[in-house]
A and B are shown apart, each in its own frame.
Chain A
Amino acid sequence: MEWGNVILQGVLVGGLYALFATGLSLIFGVMRLVNIAHGDLIVLAAYVALICVTQTTLNPLLAIFIVAPLMALAGYFLQRLVFNRTLGPDLLPPLLVSFGLSVIIQNGLLQVFSADSRKLSAGAIETATVQVVDGLSIGVLPLLMFATAVAIIGALQFMFYSLPLGRALRATSDDPEVARLMGYDNKHLFGVAMAISLAVVAVAGIFLAVRANFDPAIGPSRLIYGFEAVIIGGLGNLWGTLAGGVILGVAQAIGAKIDPGWQLLAGHLVFLAVLAFRPEGLFPKVDG
């Protein structure tokens, strides 16, 4: 039962990793942009939530209704004013601009909030558990985290394949030129995609802040976890990304159980093994 517990915890943390990954995967799918500042934006969202909570004494989990719209708005303008200027056949500009943004956000947070680690307290829900079977209980918070990840991915999947907005996003992704000829405003659509991405980032940031300590420097490793989940699951498949996050979470949990020093290493090694033996990912998107 001890190992069962370890694996179950890993699965639930995997939900958080899938949340890190979803925003990353979404904007890559729509505009082939890899946002190196993604992890730092997650941490930024955590700090925005921190301000909300300290100013209003709101429960952090409810602060999402303030933080998500704020981040989405910021995302729209970030895309319109900065990233749209970098998109083109050359890969360097978006990469380097997002890298610069990452350093700016990280040091901006350091300047304003100092390097102290912070945590958001969500109250009694943090320690509440439900018993699955005898000797195996799971926390309500990790469960909520996982359920949220599943719900968000389900909603995005529905949006992409059943709503007009999803159709427009897929059209610009498939062929930006033709999409424009059909009357779509690509620049606006890219802005909307970034807004959705940062709304998901806001959710991820709040769960990150409630689950454990955070400080301005932890962004890059969140980017790496999200990225690994995307590659393990297979590019362009959101449910695959969830599976990738779960595999990463379980690998880290098992690694940590063997030796605390192996927690992160085990996750990276699983990623490298997938890259070596199945570079298209475990659940690649099937082209129709």
Chain B
Amino acid sequence: MSAPSFRIERSTPESKVALGLGIVALIALAAGPWWIDRNGMRIVGEFLVYLSLASMWNLLAGYAGLVSVGQQAYVGFGGYFLFAWAVLGGLPPLLSVPFAGLAAAVLALPISALVFRLKGAYFAIGTWVVAEVFLLLAAQVTVLGGGSGISLPIDVVRAIGASRDARDMNVYWSTLGIAVAILIGIYILLRSRWGLALQAIRDGELAAETTGVSVAGAKRLLYVVASAGTAMIGALIFLAKLRISPNAAFSVNDWTAFVIFITVIGGIGRIEGPIIGTLLYFALRSALADLGAIYLIVLGCVAVVVMLFAPKGLWGLVADRFGWQLFPTTCRLVLTQPSSQTSPSLKGE
């Protein structure tokens, strides 16, 4: 009689399929400039932007319970950082992206000390106030256009890429690179020790604390990481737009409302949620684009209905039904047959 043998597995059959599909999609997207037309590239670029923003917000709200309604503060900060970097500093515009992230991380530390004093829903409105302060301060900076905004000067635009096509490609690949880095980064983070802590916090904050997880430390880490990621995306957004104004940069509708809807509809607290949500959002958008304000009303209604009747989102429904995990973050115990019982089949060969 032998002891039951087992092994620990993370990957699941569907995750292997997803990995394959993901690699194919990545290659197809990386080759985008050769087979997608300009308008299509713009939409794919926007898709990647929303996917990244939603993934960052999901990390905050889904794992740490930090529902921020003020992430537009960092989108706008990243955008203005790009303009200050390129227009005032005269530095290469594409290089501003990582530094925007770094600067946002440094800024997010003292801000987290302030807003973390507010709990739950009050935290949400507190972050919104911070974003409003950013907006009002940006409007005071006259060298960057003040309240009416500023366009990137022509020499800076040329520094992104010599021709219009080269510029589009450079911005597109940078956006793709950041989006992929964010997805892989989140996946690695969630598989690490911190990830285990974060998932414990998601499933029960008090229980996590009593088993020795530093809840406050983990939350602060996430806030800083998400702010840095959001600022990098912000710099890329305005690198593509070539123009910035306080109201566009710190828009709560554009950079937070849509992002929240995407994450909630797709499935909060799962890596797959924002992906499904962004796909659905773009499908809905192309179907309802002509309806103006009604489109936002429909989106809001869908989000409310999902939150009321399927709080884990669409991916939550699928995952609970089939037990799927496309990004396996949990470990599973797989019992294997003791060798004495498997040997007959070996003998038969």
Contact = CB atoms under 8 A, between A and B. Distances in A.
A103 B296 contact: yes
A92 B268 contact: yes
Contact of B304 (A97, A107, A224): A97
A227 B122 contact: yes
Interface stretch (A179-187, A206-214, A265-273): A265-273
Chain B interface mostly: helix
Contacts of A221: 132
A146 to B, nearest CB: 24
Given A34-B120, A224-B125, A275-B118, A264 B308 contact: no
Contact of B300 (A91, A107, A223): A107
B124 A95 contact: yes
A93 B136 contact: no
A82 B122 CA distance: 20
Contacts of B126: 231, 275
Interface in B283-302: 292-294, 296-297, 299-301
A167 interface: no
- Among A33, A36, A100, max chain B CB count under 10 A is at A100
A111 B293 CA distance: 6
Contacts of B299: 103
B128 A224 contact: yes
A264 B246 CA distance: 15
Contact of A96 (B120, B133, B264): B264
A268 B292 contact: no
A104 B311 contact: no
Contacts of B65: 91-92
Contacts of A272: 114, 129-130, 133
A86 interface: yes
Nearest to A272: B114
Contacts of B129: 224, 227-228, 268, 271-272
Contacts of A91: 65, 67, 120-121
B312 to A, nearest CB: 11
A288 interface: no
B125 A82 contact: no
Contact of A99 (B117, B260, B294, B311): B260
A186 B114 CA distance: 35
B252 interface: yes
B303 interface: yes
Contact of A220 (B128, B297, B301): B128
Interface in B76-133: 114-115, 117-118, 120-122, 124-126, 128-130, 132-133
A34 to B, nearest CB: 3
A275 B110 CA distance: 13
A95 B260 CA distance: 11
A92 B65 CA distance: 8
A110 B61 contact: no
Interface string A95-129: 11101110110011011000000000000000000
Nearest to B295: A107
Interface in A210-249: 220-221, 223-224, 227-228, 231
A249 B311 CA distance: 39
B49 interface: no
A276 interface: yes
B24 interface: no
Contact of A227 (B125, B130, B140): B125
A246 B296 CA distance: 36
A265 B137 contact: yes
B137 A93 contact: no
B183 interface: no
A275 B116 CA distance: 10
A261 interface: yes
A279 interface: yes
B261 interface: yes
A142 B130 CA distance: 29
B139 interface: yes
A100 to B, nearest CB: 4
A275 B117 contact: yes
A111 B125 contact: no
A85 interface: yes
B307 A96 contact: yes
Interface string A247-271: 0000000000000010011001101
A94 interface: yes
Contacts of A99: 69, 257, 260
Nearest to A96: B307
A192 to B, nearest CB: 21
Interface string B258-272: 001100100010000
Contacts of A90: 311
Nearest to B139: A261
Contacts of B140: 261, 265
27 contacts: A28-B121, A82-B304, A86-B307, A91-B121, A92-B61, A92-B268, A92-B307, A92-B311, A95-B124, A96-B303, A100-B300, A100-B307, A101-B304, A104-B296, A104-B300, A104-B301, A223-B125, A224-B129, A224-B132, A227-B122, A227-B129, A261-B136, A268-B136, A272-B114, A272-B129, A275-B114, A275-B117
Given A28-B121, A276-B114, 6 more contacts: A32-B120, A101-B304, A103-B297, A104-B297, A111-B297, A261-B139
Interface of A: 28, 32-34, 36, 82, 85-86, 90-97, 99-101, 103-104, 107-108, 110-111, 220-221, 223-224, 227-228, 231, 261, 264-265, 268-269, 271-272, 275-276, 279
Return the 3 tightest CB-CB contacts between A and B, nearest first.
A34-B121, A100-B304, A104-B300
